[in-house]
Amino acid sequence: MKAELLNADGDPKPDFHLRHKDIEGKLTHQGRKWWRNPHLEICEKDELIPDLEDR
Protein backbone atom coordinates (compact mmCIF):
# COMPACT_ATOMS: atom_id res chain seq x y z
CA MET A 1 0.00 0.00 0.00
CA LYS A 2 1.22 3.51 -0.71
CA ALA A 3 1.62 5.96 2.16
CA GLU A 4 2.76 9.54 2.67
CA LEU A 5 5.73 9.95 4.97
CA LEU A 6 6.41 13.35 6.54
CA ASN A 7 10.09 14.02 7.29
CA ALA A 8 11.92 17.12 8.49
CA ASP A 9 15.40 18.18 9.55
CA GLY A 10 16.10 18.63 13.28
CA ASP A 11 17.62 22.09 13.56
CA PRO A 12 16.77 23.77 16.89
CA LYS A 13 16.57 27.54 17.24
CA PRO A 14 18.98 29.11 19.77
CA ASP A 15 16.16 29.80 22.28
CA PHE A 16 14.99 26.15 22.32
CA HIS A 17 15.64 24.33 25.61
CA LEU A 18 15.21 20.57 25.95
CA ARG A 19 12.54 19.45 28.39
CA HIS A 20 11.97 16.09 30.05
CA LYS A 21 9.65 14.73 27.31
CA ASP A 22 12.00 15.97 24.58
CA ILE A 23 14.88 14.00 26.09
CA GLU A 24 12.76 10.84 26.44
CA GLY A 25 11.93 11.13 22.74
CA LYS A 26 8.17 11.07 23.30
CA LEU A 27 7.10 14.49 21.98
CA THR A 28 7.79 18.18 22.00
CA HIS A 29 5.32 20.99 22.53
CA GLN A 30 7.66 23.39 20.74
CA GLY A 31 8.05 21.62 17.41
CA ARG A 32 8.15 24.92 15.52
CA LYS A 33 11.41 25.68 17.33
CA TRP A 34 12.97 22.34 16.38
CA TRP A 35 11.91 21.07 12.94
CA ARG A 36 13.00 22.66 9.63
CA ASN A 37 12.56 21.85 5.93
CA PRO A 38 9.55 19.51 6.11
CA HIS A 39 9.00 17.33 3.04
CA LEU A 40 6.57 14.60 2.02
CA GLU A 41 7.52 11.32 0.40
CA ILE A 42 5.33 8.69 -1.20
CA CYS A 43 6.51 5.26 -0.12
CA GLU A 44 5.35 1.68 -0.12
CA LYS A 45 4.28 0.15 3.23
CA ASP A 46 3.37 -3.47 3.89
CA GLU A 47 1.05 -2.93 6.87
CA LEU A 48 -1.16 -0.38 8.55
CA ILE A 49 -0.11 1.23 11.79
CA PRO A 50 -1.21 -1.08 14.67
CA ASP A 51 -4.60 -0.20 16.21
CA LEU A 52 -5.44 2.22 13.39
CA GLU A 53 -8.48 0.17 12.39
CA ASP A 54 -9.83 0.19 15.97
CA ARG A 55 -10.20 3.98 16.14
Q: What's the predicted TM-score (pTM) here? A: 0.51
Residues 9-29, buried b or exposed e (16+ Cβ, 10 A)? eeeeeeeeeeeeebeeeeebe
- Assign 54 a pLDDT band (cuts: 50, 70, 90): low
Would you give the distance in Å from CA 31 to the centre of its chain?
Answer: 9
* Domain ranges across the chain: 2-54
Whole-number pLDDT of residue 29: 73
| Interval 20-52: pLDDT, tens | 777 777 677 777 888 889 999 999 888 766 665
Rounded Cα gap, residues 14 and 11, in angstroms: 9
Does the structure show a pLDDT above 80 at 55?
A: no
